[in-house]
Structure 1
Amino acid sequence: MKTTLQATSVVLATTAGLLTVVAAPGASAATSCASPVFKRQFFANTTFKGTPKKTDCDSAISESWSGAPASGLPKDGFGVRWSVTRDFGSGGPFALAASGLDGIRVYVDGTRKVDLWKNTTKTVSKTVNVTVPKGKHTLRVDYANFTGAAKVKFGYTPRTSATVDKVKPLAPLDPLVSYDGSANTTKLSWTKNREMDLAGYRVYRRLRGSTSWTKVGTTTATSLTDAPPATGALYYYEIRAYDKAGNESGGTADQLVTSITLAAPSGLSSSITDTTATVFWKAVPGAVKYRVVRTDPSNVERVTDVVGTSLGDDTLARSAGYQYKVAALDSSGHLSPYSVTTYVHRAPAAPRGLTATADIGAALLSWTVKPEDGRVLGFHVYRSTTLPVDTATATEVTCTTTYTESADGSRRYSCGDYSAEEGTTYHYVVTTEDQISTVSLPSDTVTVTTLESDKPPAQVTGLTATATEYGIELDWDDNTEADLKRYVVYRGTVIGEDDAEQVCSGGEWAWLNAGTSHYRDVRTPDGDHACYWVDAIDTAGNSSRWLGPVSAVAVDELDLTPSVATPEGSPLTLTADTPDSGGVHLGWSAVDSATGYQVYRWDPATKTYEKLAATTDRSYDDTTATRGTTHYYWVTALYADGTESAPGADRAILEP
């Protein structure tokens, strides 16, 4: 719904040639409506005689009244007049679109352009194309409601087709130019044009003494900043408006600026991390970018243009030195003198893949160096009993290295620290030193506990057993001893009364490698009571059982067994398995004289075997079976007389 307000002040916005208004209410004896808002007058007749019954402001003409539109007016036989005087700028072709129920007339500067003045029973409309001269003009719309419903709508919009609009916009007014020599930037501003079909502005620049203009920017705002070539030359600027048909105005009065001259960048410095060298310099007035020249150890130059005042270079080879110099460029590509040079040297890479293997009173270390990791003069091996390993305070180990070389040129170095104590936990890092004594960052830290003679591994701790719909999940704490070889899972039954000492009596159930501390015992969840314990075995065959009694956990399996028993005497044998592709695959033997087969699946919620599918095949894939549970199935043979056989039964366990 459109809101109309009496106003003493308004805030205007023009969008795509259509006008909107936000009106602020105020108390005034006389109504004043700021252009381009319409002044609207309501008359108690269709001849617009006498004093208006009401006067207000209207941002757009689009009304539909079913009765009297204002107090003091009749519901039939009233008139409404809208008028506005506005600046059309350069003018040009416009479309006047009017419609009404009943009469509507449109005037431009008092000349009638639309005449639909009659009592009608349906809406009449008309669009007229007119050419509005430049400057200010008055629009007036008269509307008469003779009888019945009242509707009126009017709009005026510029025609922006290039084949129709040949009128150039007016040149922008009040051009202002200021030049900032410290940044070599020219700021231009101007007053907004009045054209309703204005598309934007173009800013042009030319060298003094030249007749050739260069467009340096386009904008819809009323200001723009440009950086002229920093050559010390004089330049002129002008602004031109252009409309939606592509017509361009004449230029504003030429505005003169004198540019600066580019200086060589100063304050060149550099820093380097393990991966990136960064070069820094101070900004040069008038520069729009900078040219950085890098010279590598083979005296090959690489040129890079950047916008800011620093450059990060992560393409340096290891154990290699590079020189950098920088020049400034202006917007025309003029180059300043080069700065002084700065030098960086990238360190070799830290040793890769450091490992440590425990031995009796020793640690055997290995690491890799690839060809791209830089030159190798030697290594430093550091040992500490605390973390983190600080190479400044840690013990440097005398460690004679040997290596093996692979086909890609990588070398795997090894050395042994035989000065360690038995049964002691040490932390190691290794650094590389190159041909000019530049040392790499430390490698990753490895931790190892040296072995003691005949010491079995620690007993497993934190063992838990969780009953699930697919079996029992076992989990325990990781054993990080270097010589751990495997885990052995035992399963058994609990012997002893509840109020007395109980033991887990069972046997080996599974062997697992040392890298896991989890085991899934997939079995039918039928309510059994079971117990588990886990033994740790080291590379020497020592068992954690030798340290004394071990802790076991007892668990009651879930009981998902269907409460409906499977009848005996089925003529078919059902098998259920779980293929890698997912779901459950059912297969069964053929039954003579069967016309088909009915597949059922146990539903724990309804506690019934629900029909799943009927088929004439001797197999079925249940792709809807959810994972992480056990599914029970029946399959019966169907006969021509409508009966079905006793079911064949099987179950399938789908792990998560």
Structure 2
Amino acid sequence: MIPPANNRSALAKPIGISLLSLFLLASCASPGPPRPPSLHLPEIVSDLAAERQGDEVRLHWTTPAKTTDGLTITGTMTAQICRATPTTPIVSTVRHPEVCTPVGRVPAKAGPSEATDLLPPALANGPGELIEYRLELRNRNERSAGLSAPAFVAAGPAPPAVTGLHVVATEQGALLQWEPKDAADSIELTRLHAATLAKPAAGAKQPLQSAPKEPAEVHLRASKVNSADSLFRPDAGGTLDATAHRGETYGYTAERIRNVVIDGHSLQVRSAPSTSIKVIMRDTFPPKPPVGLETIVGSSASAPSIDLSWRPNTEQDLAGYLVYRRELGADGQVVGASVRLTATPIQEPGFSDTTIVAGHTYSYSVTAIDTLGNESRPSASAQEQVRLP
């Protein structure tokens, strides 16, 4: 029996709701197996580096900002430093694949990090063997994802420290000298730029032009000051830093460097750094006088002039040139005082004097001036006579 139309409509509503519910249930994606809770283990350090300097080993690395499951690290971390040698190797067991005895612990936070390990006398003064360092990052629950890859340094005596280091500002640069040693160790100088320490005193000359931007730190390998120095003696007791700019202030330290090879590893052993010294490269050195000054009377009869030219100077701190004129009498003697024709330094090696008077004879000279106002001696003079029309 077919139910009436109104009954059919009433039956259709619950059936439609049931189908919709089934569709929604079927369309919900399965969440999959539940994920275990995070152990908040910091990622393993991947860029550990070690450098031997005197009896200390300086360690550098980047502390990760994420855990092994990709979460941002929260809370405190500790970097545990492990040191191993042939007599105290890293131990591997079934439960702990790599375990080494810690020699230090430092707080760690995400970003560039560093620590220092003072070697015991047995390693600092003993035989030249390989020292291996590993780093283990631990969370606040003292849990770790494991040890970093190794970084190596050499045991054994370090080169002697550089003594007697001193520096003098010269026209060619900063001349550094120290007490030489008869050894094959090379010398490395570290130069720090300290312009803020060289604020000019009241009344001091100000640069006419800005100096080039200086790097904060520069490393220089010492080269021989004198070409006659022995080829078999890298430590000649001095070197010239020709890259030091006048008007700047620098601090210098020096280290001896010894290259060694242990178990296939090429390593450097550095001495402890020398005492730091400072030099203010006061620019009291004028440029060289211009050369090749020539004069010629201008070609215009209505506007007489004398044109000057000379060879350009090559100093890096050159600000320009100043032109001077003297008038000569009929007997060739100077009449009156010298007159400066250029109020400010001119950049080009040439000048046109349009203030002359026909029938007079003039003598010209040119000086070069640097960015701090140091002026050279005058060039050789050149004379020119302007004939009457």
How does the TM-score come out when normalised to structure 1?
Answer: 0.24
Structure with the larger strand share: 1
Structure having the larger proportion of residues in helix: 2
TM-score (norm 2): 0.36
RCO comparison, higher one (Cα < 8 Å, 6+) = 2
Larger-Rg structure: 1
